[in-house]
Amino acid sequence: MGFPLSAILIAGAVILPVVLGEFFPATLTLERAFPANHRVELSELVRRDRVRHGRLLQDSSSSSSSSSSNGVVDFLVDGTFDPFVVGLYFTKVQLGSPPRDFYVQIDTGSDVLWVSCSSCNGCPQTSGLQIPLNFFDPGSSSTSSLISCSDKRCSLGIQSSDSLCSTQSNQCGYTFQYGDGSGTSGYYVSDLLHFDTVLGNSLIQNSSAPVLFGCSTLQKGDLTKSDRAVDGIFGFGQQAMSVISQLSSQGVAPKSFSHCLRGDNGGGGILVLGEIVEPSIVYSPLVPQQPHYNLNLQSISVNGQTLSIDPTIFATSSNRGTIVDSGTTLAYLAEEAYEPFINAINAAVSQSVRPVLSKGNQCYLISASPADIFPQVNLNFAGSASMVLRPQDYLIQQNSISGAAVWCIGFQKIAGQGITILGDLVLKDKIVVYDLAGNRIGWANYDCSLSVNVSTTSNTGKTEFVNAGQLSDNSSFRNEAYNSLPIGILALFVQIAILRTFRFL
């Protein structure tokens, strides 16, 4: 949330901070944020995402040794893309001594990990996700320490607009202002982050490393709402204050991470520090010296036909470009690309359905499966890397009329802005690899309920592979409404693999 370029869109539910307690129920009940018989208008989802747009496009100012080494770190994942159930993905982190649980939104569009603090003014007290809330108390952790303005990490944060300094208190703090008038502010704390690390052929539990994170003391606007509140935000950005950068600089984890977010109603998925290895992954280079994960989108194809869009529309500059952001629910196209895209979809389905407008959104009334009617879309990036979008990757079911379903284009237009943002609408049901050491992002369509192979390079120079799967019946992190579907807890089964074992390497 604090970027120079400024912020990104947030999942269909604004990154509401909320807090989860030390006790977590045996089952997690995810209630619909809206009644099952009431489909949210796309305009409401757009409004929620625009809150995040403000964070991206507005200037934001934010003002012990590890017990493991360069292994694969695994995180729990819960939540769903479905805005009618949750509308965001979140994970659990354990902070402090003794460790306490905090559930935070997974956000590749910001850098900082922050959670609500015990002294927070305006923080939600309850969550519509039916999870207990928790507040971090620095005074209750034996390993907690405050960060002064003279700390070099604070200085690095000032350079990336992730921190600010108070000359009165000499305390390193932050203030993140959002486009709708909401925001959060607080101060930075250093404490232990506890996690599971897989190294070699053993599962090391209760590993820990000191990290710097935000302690939120004030929240306002949409952040104070409880409908889908979580404890805070886990920024997976690439700047110096991100947890990814901190852990990799300590040699605790590789300078890479991967996720595979399930798009079905069961939700959940996979989130690891390390690179998921899959033969069909294609890579595109990151645009250098950008605060966000910017890629060079070169063209868009519908049914194999390249659309007539000036490629310079997608060029990256101070206020233009294509950003990958897991904190956004929908997807957004630069204004000049939006109409050609909609026209191409309409032309492809004109013989099967009649396009209709619903409050300014392009929708279709259909009685068959969208997969049988709608075309494949390809987003073509630098490096000959194409992102294949199936109909479910760009359509959202809005409601039903007389037994027929209303499906709407999930891509929205950013009027007056040359920014394209790839949110969970297109990121779900894909392996996405952020290889920061190699300055590239890779992806492949994938069934995220399956296990994956994760690689990391150990200190010995050998590449090790971990098989990451999902627990089933003993998973306590689940959606009770879909209790036959396991939600995203990773069961890590280690295997030392020789390169030749993987034919695709």
| Neighbour-count burial for 275-291, b at 16+ CB within 10 Å, e otherwise | bbbbeebbbbbbbeebb
Distance (Å, rounded) from C-alpha 330 to C-alpha 341?
16
Neighbours of 483 (CB within 10 A): 15
CA dihedral 163, 167, 168, 169 (to 10 degrees): 50
Examine the residue annotation and report whether 393 is marked as an active-site residue of this protein: no
* Coil, helix or strand at residue 304: coil
- CB contact at 8 A, 68 and 273: no
* 501 SS3 class: helix
Active-site residue flag, 107 = yes
Cβ atoms of 143 and 96 closer than 8 Å: yes
Q: Residue 7: which residues within 8 A CB-CB, separation 6 or more?
A: 1, 52, 53, 54, 55, 56, 57, 58, 60, 109, 110, 176, 178, 179
Cα separations (Å) of 360 from 41, 42, 343, 395, 452? 11, 9, 14, 15, 41
Q: Using the Cα atoms of residue 75, residue 81, residue 85 and residue 86 in order, give the sign of their dihedral.
A: positive
What single-letter DSSP state applies at residue 96? T
Residues with Cβ within 8 Å of residue 503, at least 6 apart in sequence: none
Q: And the tokens for 373?
A: 């009617």
Q: Are strands 411-414 and 331-334 parallel, antiparallel or unpaired?
A: parallel
Which tokens go with 69? 């080494």
Both structure tokens of 44 = 């409401």
φ/ψ of residue 246, rounded to 5: -65, -45
Cβ neighbours for 337, distance < 8 A, ≥ 6 positions apart = 300, 307, 309, 313, 314, 420
Q: Which of 74, 191, 325, 429 is catalytic?
A: 325
Q: How does strand 202-220 pair with strand 113-121?
A: parallel
- 3 state DSSP class of 151: coil
Q: Side-chain half-sphere of 399: how many Cα atoms within 13 Å? A: 12
**Which of the residues 49, 78, 107, 222 is marked catalytic?**
107
Active site (catalytic) residues: 107, 325
